[in-house]
Amino acid sequence: MTESTFWSSDMSSSLVDFLLNSFKAQQDKTTTLIQITCTVVAIVLLWLLHYVLFKPLNRIRDLCDTGYQDQMRWDRYGKTKRQLANEARRNKKVGDVPPVYPNGWFALCESDDLKAGQVLSIKALDENLAVFRTEDGQVCVLDAYCPHLGAHLGIGGRVVNDCIECPFHGWQFSGHDGKCTSIPYSKGKIPPSAQVKKWPCHEVNGFVFFWYHAEEEKSLEPEWTVPELDVISSGRWQYRGRTEYQVNVHIQEIPENGADVAHLAHLHGPSMLGGSDLTSIDRKKSDGESMPILHHHWQVGWKGPEHGDADWHVAVTTIKHDLRLFGRIPFILMDVEAKQIGPGLVHLTIGTSLGRCVLLQTVTPIAPFTQRVLHRLYASPTVVAPYAKLILWGEAIQFERDVAVWNHKTYIRHPVIVSEDRTISKHRRWFQQFYSENSPRIETIMENRKGSLDW
Ligand code: FES
Ligand SMILES: [Fe+2]
């Protein structure tokens, strides 16, 4: 063997070793990469599974989030969504509206928002309120302004036993009657006028409500109560999520939607998968020539109380719903009974093929044309979480279509209607009972605010 042949064979074996090692290193790298990818995918899938199966839905939409897609589309000046929404709000003609704050129970917050010993500052129906929970769990609602020098009790106030202590000089006010119980630096008698208004309140079905009435003598004694739903208070039905909205409309328009049976087919017929952008939802009719793939089908009725009925403050909308594939094959069947309980609360009992759910809707005016609307869904154990959340999500999309209309519409006191719209007139007559002589009117509120429309 010559020397050159020896060197050559040695070199080729080194080269093979080198290639083999490189290949192995590459293989190891690929394996590590695959392992990392698989771990990431598994974590994402587990998170998704956890989200779908266990985490309640929480959908929050601010005043400018719904119904302004057209403004965004046509804007040539790079304005923000908030600017465009505010512009649309200012340009909107409110119309010849009824009083802006009806009488009844209104939700101030959800029970989870208020821990023992916590104080919240809440504005509702033009009232500034200090809402607090005593250490033993009782909720109290007082006027926010301290009669001493006017500090806001809800901002920096402290719960002391069943009282709230003012953050300014430490005067304490009882949550039971609003009377001052202590002036820490005074040895004299507590002046009898050292008192704040105490509002009737009621914590039920996961909400804290307060009773509002424009007539002084009726503001202390509620005329009816918010019914307790045993399936919620007993904990038998599971909480599956919530949605929260701010809507730019007069409060009466929201319950009127339940009596407006004709809008369902037109506005809520197109599939929920199309979202809530009114310009782009598929308006094809299932009875038309071009059949949509998915279409909601509704059968609706509205009924107010009979004359002399004890539940004069309750009206009922009944709905039969199914989602149709190619206009023929029905699925997601639901029977809904929506009880409108006064101006600010609806209990919707939803019968589905898997079991029953209840959706609670509260509407609270935080300013004359700004409504805070909350929904909370509870489902019986047979309604699996993903299905319950699908129902809530679908309801949210449909509700957002209404919001998109409400945010721009005006109120017409004498609408041009046809005989099929008669339940709207009935609803308006029924709703009249929630206004009284001193119910605040927009003109008076504007005068007090020197005509400012900035709420
Ligand atoms: S302002 Fe409330 S104690 Fe003085
Ligand atoms: Fe609607």
Is residue 39 situated within a structural domain? no
Q: Would you place residue 208 in the very low, low, confident or very high pLDDT band (cuts 50, 70, 90)?
A: very high
* CA 274 to ligand 2 centroid distance, Å: 15
More confident site: 9 or 247: 247
Do 397 and 343 reside in the same domain of the chain? yes
For the chain, give the secondary structure using H, E and C.
CCHHHHHHHHHHHHHHHHHHHHHHHHHHHHHHHHHHHHHHHHHHHHHHHHHHHCCCEEEEECCCCCCCHHHHHHCCCCCCHHHHHHHHHHHCCCECCCCCCCCEEEEEEEHHHCCCCCEEEEEECCEEEEEEECCCCCEEEEECECCCCCCECCCCCEEECCEEECCCCCCEEECCCCEEEECCCCCCCCCCCCECCEECEEEECCEEEEEECCCHHHCCCCCCCCCCCHHHHCCCCEEEEEEEEEECCCCCHHHHHHHCCCHHHHHHCECHHHCCCCCCCCCCCCCCCCCCCEEEEEEEEEECCCCCCCCCCEEEEEEEEEEEECCCEEEEEEEEEEEEECCCEEEEEEEECCEEEEEEEEEEEEECCEEEEEEEEEECCCCCHHHHHHHHHHHHHHHHHHHHHHCCCCECCCCCCCHHHHHHHHHHHHHHHHCCCCCCCHHHHHHHCCCCCCC
Rounded CA separation 352/334 (Å): 5
Sign, CA dihedral 70-262-296-251, equals positive
Radius of gyration for the alpha carbons in the chain, expressed in angstroms and rounded: 30
Is 450 inside any structural domain? Answer: no
What is the spatial distance between Cα 451 and Cα 439, in angstroms, rounded to a whole number?
19
Q: Do 377 and 289 belong to one domain?
A: yes
Same domain, 63 and 147: no
Q: How confident is the model at residue 2 (pLDDT cuts 50, 70, 90)?
A: very low
Which segment of 27-31, 343-347, 359-363, 384-388 scores lowest on mean pLDDT? 27-31
**Residue 148 CB less than 6 A away from ligand 1:** yes
The response to whether residue 345 sits with its C-beta less than 6 Å from ligand 1 reads no
Is there a single domain that holds both residue 281 and residue 404? Answer: yes
* 142, 236: one domain: no
Are 166 and 156 spatial neighbours (Cβ–Cβ below 8 Å)?
no
The domain that holds 200 is classified in CATH as: 2.102.10.10
Can you read off the two tokens belonging to residue 185? Answer: 């630096």
Q: In this structure, are residues 424 and 256 in contact, taking their beta carbons and an 8 Å threshold? A: yes
Residue with the smallest CA separation from ligand 1 atom 1 is: 149
Cβ atoms within 10 Å, residue 269: 20
Cα–Cα distance for residue pair 172/194, rounded to 1 Å: 10
Maximal C-alpha separation, the chain: 122
* pLDDT at 348 exceeding the cut of 60: yes
Mutate to test the pocket of ligand 1, among 128, 145, 169 (most ligand atoms within 8 A of CB): 169
Mean pLDDT of the chain: 92
Q: Residues 309-339: pLDDT tens digits?
A: 889 999 999 999 999 998 889 988 999 999 9
Domain match, 315 and 387 both: yes
Minimum mean pLDDT among 51-60, 192-201, 215-224: which range? 51-60
Q: Is the pLDDT of residue 1 over 50?
A: no
**Cβ of residue 146 lying under 6 Å from some atom of ligand 1:** yes
Average pLDDT for residues 413-439, to the nearest whole number? Answer: 96
Sheet holding 163-165, edge to edge: 158-160, 163-165, 172-174, 180-182
Q: How confident is the model at residue 142 (pLDDT cuts 50, 70, 90)?
A: very high
Residues 159, 73 within the same domain: no
Query: Of all protein residues, whose CA lies closest to atom 4 belonging to ligand 1?
Result: 169
Contact between 409 and 253 under an 8 Å Cβ cutoff? The reply is yes
For residue 19, pLDDT beyond 90: no
One domain, residues 237 and 213 = no
Ranking 70-79, 121-130, 163-172, 199-208 by mean pLDDT, the lowest is: 70-79
CATH number for the domain harbouring residue 71:
3.90.380.10
Within a domain: 388:
yes
pLDDT (tens digit, 9 = 90+) per residue, 44-97? 998 888 888 889 999 999 999 999 988 889 889 999 999 999 999 999 998 999
Residue 180 pLDDT: 98
Q: What is the mean pLDDT of residues 268-283?
A: 89
pLDDT for position 450: 64
* Average pLDDT rounded to a whole number, residues 281-286: 69
Query: Which residue out of 119, 142, 143, 146 has the highest number of ligand 1 atoms within 8 Å of its CB and is therefore the one to mutate?
Result: 146
How far, in Å, CA of 245 to CA of 370, rounded?
Answer: 10
Residue with tokens 């010993």: 117
In a domain, 86, yes or no: no
358 lines ligand 1 (CB under 6 A): no
Distance from the alpha carbon of residue 311 to the mean position of ligand 2, in angstroms? 24
Query: Would the CB of 153 count as within 6 Å of ligand 1?
Result: no
Shared domain for 202 and 263, answered yes or no, is no
Query: Which of 170, 189, 219 corresponds to the end of one domain?
Result: 219
Q: Residue 353 pLDDT more than 70?
A: yes
For residue 300 and ligand 1, the question of a CB distance below 6 A is answered with no
| pLDDT higher than 50, residue 43 | yes
pLDDT at position 12, please? 75
374, part of any domain:
yes
Question: Of 193, 219, 245, which residue is a domain's last?
Answer: 219
Residue 255 and residue 212 share a domain:
no
Task: Tell how far the Cα of 428 is from the centroid of ligand 2, in angstroms.
Answer: 16
- Domain-located, residue 237: yes
Q: Which residue range(s) make up the domain with 133?
A: 104-219
Number of domains in the chain: 2
pLDDT of residue 452: 53
Note whether residue 376 is domain-resident. Answer: yes
Q: Is the CB of 302 under 6 A from ligand 1?
A: no
Among 219, 251, 272, the domain boundary falls at 219
Strand order across the 127-133 sheet? 119-124, 127-133, 139-143, 198-199
Summarize the confidence of residues 251-275 as an average pLDDT.
94
* Residue 32 counted as domain residue: no
210 and 330 co-located in one domain: no
Please identify every residue whose CB atom is under 5 Å from ligand 2, which is an ion: 257, 402
Q: Looking at the structure, tell me whether residues 400 and 436 fall in a common domain.
A: yes
Residue 84 identity: L
